[in-house]
Amino acid sequence: MNNNSAFTNRVIASMLSLTLLTAAGCGGISSKRLKQIGAVVAIGVAAKLIYDMVVDYQSKQINDEGEVVDRYIENHGALPAQPVLVNYESNIKPGEVVTAGNDISIQSKLEVVRGADSRTVEIQEKITIFDNEDNTKELKSLTKVVNTESKKSGAFENEFTFKLPKGMPQGVYPVRTIVIVDGKEQPAKNSQMQLVFNGRFKGSFERVASH
C-alpha cells in the first residue's frame, strides 16, 4: 500500500470514529444503536482496505483437452451436449486461520470437458470476499480467465494470492470461489470457505451453501 492510500485509510477511520463518538455523546442513543454505528464504522474501514488490496492470479494446465475428453468418454460413453465442469476443489493456504500482512492463497483444481459440438470454451474462476459483519456484502470480487491462450477444455491448477491489509477489523470473512463456463456459473462444483485472521478463530468453520 502506498503512502497516499495509507493516509486516506487513516482519514476515513478517523472520520468514522468521530461520527461514532459524536453519536455516543448525544442523549437518547441506545447501546444497540451504538453497536450498529460501530458495525458501520468497521464495514467502512474493511471495504476501503479490501478495495485497495492487490490480488494476483496464476493458472497452469495439467491435462490437455484430449486427455479430459478421453477420460470423460471412457466414464460416460459420449461427450455432453454442452461443456461441463467435471471436478472442482478449492482450499485456503496456509489454512483457515490467517494473519493480516502475510501471504494467503486460494488454491484450486478444476476440470472442464467440452461439449460434443464445441470447439472452444471460456473457463473463468471468480473469487469473492464478503464482510465479516454483513455476510451478504461483497468487499472484493475478481474474475480471471483460466484458459486464456488455448480457449480449450482441460484440467487446471489455479491460485489467487493476496495479503489482507493490516488494520482490517478482526473477524470471520467468508470467501467464495466459483467456476464460470461460457458465461454460466456452475452451481454443483464450487468451494466456499470462511477466512479468519489475526490469529484468533471466532466460531466454528462452516461451508457456505452452494448456489
Please write the tens of the pLDDT for every residue from 64-74.
999 999 999 99
160 close to 56: Cβ distance less than 8 angstroms: yes
Q: Tell me: do 73 and 92 sit in the same domain.
A: yes
When pLDDT is averaged across residues 2-17 and rounded to a whole number, the result is 48
User: Residue 190: what pLDDT?
Assistant: 44
The H-or-E segment that residue 145 falls in is: strand 138-145
Q: Tell me: do 101 and 16 sit in the same domain.
A: no
Query: In whole angstroms, what is the distance from residue 43 CA to residue 116 CA?
Result: 47
Half-sphere exposure of 178 (CA within 13 A, CB side): 17
| Tens digit of each residue's pLDDT (9 = 90 or more) over 149-188 | 899 999 999 999 998 887 778 788 888 999 999 999 985 4
Q: Which domain holds residue 103?
A: 55-196
Q: How far is CA 64 from the centre of its chain?
A: 26
Q: Mean pLDDT for the chain? A: 76
Copy the grid coordinates of residue 16: 468514522
Copy the grid coordinates of residue 153: 477444455
Copy the grid coordinates of residue 156: 487446471
Q: Tell me: do 9 and 27 sit in the same domain.
A: yes
Phi, psi of 54 (to 5 degrees): -90, 130
Number of structural domains the chain divides into:
2
User: Residue 194: what pLDDT?
Assistant: 54
Tell me the whole-structure pTM to 2 decimals. Answer: 0.70
Residues 6+ apart with CB under 8 A from 26: none
What is the DSSP pairing of strand 84-93 with strand 56-63? unpaired
When pLDDT is averaged across residues 198-205 and rounded to a whole number, the result is 44
Residue type, 156: F
Q: Tell me: do 43 and 59 sit in the same domain.
A: no
201 has a pLDDT exceeding 60: no
The H-or-E segment that residue 87 falls in is: strand 84-93
Q: Tell me: do 132 and 86 sit in the same domain.
A: yes
